[in-house]
Chains A and B, each alone.
Chain A
């Protein structure tokens, strides 16, 4: 059941007797890493989680921040890595369904979805299968349920072969006054199960998710739940109407560990007990044991507490929406989760005990591999001869290729609130009937975290901060998924602790508290652990969503300026070093958090004032890749200034062109403004650490001195290849580059 001997002893101590099988099952799921955070809880305390906009921090179904004017956003990101590894379509689909219900449980209407994904290289058939089916699963569920998938990210690396990462984020919109909570109150109130019937699917899913993946995992396929987006859609509309009519005392989704975790969390939150009459739970198969009903992870279900005199009205509404609604228990004065089967008590566990999973704190020991992988000299990398070819190969690499073939499979416009379509630095959404809006991004930097866990953790948050600033939104808070290997191994625990430290430092400097999140440990296969990959979802606010920027060049003649700390660019841990030279080595620079904040805030101010409508951050692939992305997005070329290539090479490049063009750092942005606004821009830039006019927008080529001269159409052909083709196969008459 996934409990250790010591944990069993602890249960004996808490209960003062031996648990029966049902009771032990309850402990098994509630004390799994997925539900109980037993390996991460002490470390998670490091995250800052308070701030002036925070209405709800960690501990509820989702974090909530104030947007102003009585509006609030509820948001959370959650992993579905293990289910997706064995059954990618349903694993991803139910990941989306689960995170939507977390948002719904706060009383919010889900309005945006994002997905942060990692897979092994696409030249392996199994990885292609996982990638294709995960994307299909996200679309299959999200498209049908009517919540737009507006953003996300994906990366490919051998570190994720056989252990993909599928992190789904949902954002919900709500009036502050309508916020709902999950704590049960009011002895005698009815506990109502809403939604689908309960089956044997997903039994012990939470314990499965808290173990390493082995060949045996394939045989646990029955642990993966099956999603029904139609049932979810009706559940959403029904719950929102129940809330609108003020018929609920509290609401909780059923996710990992099913009724057990929901009921015990509701009870523990309210300091009350709950009696579940397990025979009343509607089932989709015969002969289920009470313990199976209690821990089933059948999807599309919610648990609500309803005052007795409102039960009839609530159930009538459920019927109107064609979903199940059944009273399955009562709020009780005792503090126990008590399971009753046809009048016979079949299990009694204190809700507090269930919530009281053990916590393991380990020593943080720097693993030896870091010294090895951090050794790196630029001189080890030969300078390329043909920069056109290098740029084409980088832009066509799956890590930097256009994501169009993914997001075109997701309905990103349903709801008619999507102001900026996918492909920009962050999704921009409006709030109907107001000038307000919000932006949201997901980011992860696994390779960086592997090479330098603390720096990588901070850089992950910095990347999200830059992305929101580029579109002009004020970043306000963070949700995260901590995807790591086994914390029982010293390297895994070190990576977890150090990444959290780096993320926390960045969140403190940026003023973006962590208000919700999830932990996915034991991401290991027989090939070893994944890269430590914390992913963050960051939300930002607009007072006037009309004032935003996008990356695409908009007008011929615009002047393109690079802003920020370009002096620290490096090939250590860069995309270029991995893609072109097969090297994952060195310690990537920075980030210098104070400088990151200063520069990003400056760019945001220029967008907000209406001076800048074209902005992009320099990230994977370095300056020239960012410039190419802006050109391709706008369908306009660029001509670099005379002598600029030499200046870059001698300056940031330290004498090397590849360092100048493809080197990476944090803290760097590109903006474009019309010539007549140049003086205003220079004025604004007087506060910047550094800036440089690099070129002028126009034509249909990218020209950088005598190093690069490429037609946009050739770049586009390389960049926009279908990610779902088979590498090496001829597609549309051009060779697909793997």
Chain B
């Protein structure tokens, strides 16, 4: 499988995501922000970082980048897209995912390892996990506090679209939400960083369960 990783000015987990794709055993493809071309990839990861310096609002400028046009088409056509951290923020800004990510309630950047529960295996990025399974994943963000109006939250819960839920909430997110998916379920946004735990040399490869899920989906 060819897995694309978008590179915006200020992305800083792009190289980690490309490396994680190698760890998945798949072919990483760099997608430069200014080029409106997905290069025929089978899945896309929008990585973390501070695209455009997070100026204005995290993700607010990146959504206008050249690569986003074909990415939106790909997503709307059912292609698997994973936004991690800043990538999640970008996908929210692009309205490919509902809600928004506000500043953490404690007003501090938080870098830690957190327990999360996989709430649904019914997405291309969790298909390799068991529903209800708990994982320990790294987080590193200043704006990870998921927010949506009550109606949207109720819909997300009803439609089984909460993908990951914190076991101990690190940022004040509504309903302890750590990740959600789109109505079509193919677009997933997560605040935790699966690519940071994709190598046993760093103590854990639990993140590969999430990343390699997309291969399960592909063979279905």
Contacts and interface: CB of A to CB of B under 8 A. Distances in A.
B108 interface: yes
A216 B142 CA distance: 35
Interface string A537-563: 000000001100000000000000000
B9 A234 contact: yes
A430 B203 CA distance: 12
A548 to B, nearest CB: 11
A414 B140 contact: yes
26 contacts: A143-B109, A143-B140, A143-B142, A144-B54, A146-B12, A146-B49, A229-B50, A230-B52, A230-B53, A230-B54, A233-B53, A234-B9, A234-B10, A321-B9, A322-B9, A408-B111, A410-B109, A413-B140, A414-B12, A414-B16, A414-B140, A415-B15, A416-B198, A419-B203, A430-B202, A432-B19
Classify the secondary structure of A's interface with B: loop
Given A408-B111, A410-B111, A144 B53 contact: yes
Interface of B: 9-10, 12-13, 15-16, 19-20, 48-50, 52-55, 108-112, 138, 140, 142, 193, 195-196, 198-199, 201-203
A301 interface: no
A117 to B, nearest CB: 17
Nearest to A230: B53
A674 to B, nearest CB: 20
Classify the secondary structure of B's interface with A: mixed
Contacts of A414: 12-13, 16, 48, 140, 196
* 9 A-B pairs closest in CB distance: A146-B12, A230-B53, A144-B50, A411-B140, A416-B16, A409-B109, A411-B111, A413-B196, A139-B109
Contacts of A143: 50, 109, 111, 140, 142
B110 to A, nearest CB: 6
B207 to A, nearest CB: 10
Nearest to B193: A413
Given A416-B195, A430-B201, A546-B201, A230 B108 contact: no
Nearest to B195: A416
Contacts of B54: 144, 230
Contacts of B201: 419, 430, 545-546
Contacts of B193: 413
Interface string A458-491: 0000000000000000000000000000000000
Contacts of A234: 9-10
Nearest to A146: B12
A228 interface: yes
A408 B112 contact: yes
Given A144-B53, A228-B53, A416-B16, A233 B196 contact: no
B108 A409 contact: yes
A143 B195 CA distance: 17
Given A416-B19, A416-B199, A430-B202, A145 B108 contact: no
B4 to A, nearest CB: 19
A415 B109 contact: no
Contacts of B199: 416
A494 to B, nearest CB: 42
The residue in A139, A230, A234, A413 that gathers the most chain B C-beta atoms within 10 A of its C-beta is: A413
Nearest to A724: B108
A511 to B, nearest CB: 29
A230 B112 contact: no
A410 B202 CA distance: 18
A545 B50 CA distance: 30
B134 to A, nearest CB: 18
Contacts of A408: 108, 110-112
A640 interface: no
Contact of A407 (B10, B20, B49, B111): B111
Contact of A230 (B55, B196, B198): B55
A410 B140 CA distance: 8
A366 B172 CA distance: 57
A445 B212 CA distance: 48
Contact of B50 (A233, A409, A413): A233
A234 B108 CA distance: 25
A599 B138 CA distance: 36
B86 to A, nearest CB: 10
A670 to B, nearest CB: 23
A233 B140 contact: no
A39 interface: no
A89 to B, nearest CB: 13
A418 B202 contact: yes
The residue in B10, B15, B52 that gathers the most chain A C-beta atoms within 10 A of its C-beta is: B10
Contacts of A412: 111
A233 B55 CA distance: 14
B12 A409 contact: no
B10 A230 contact: yes
Given A229-B50, A416-B195, A419-B202, A409 B10 contact: no
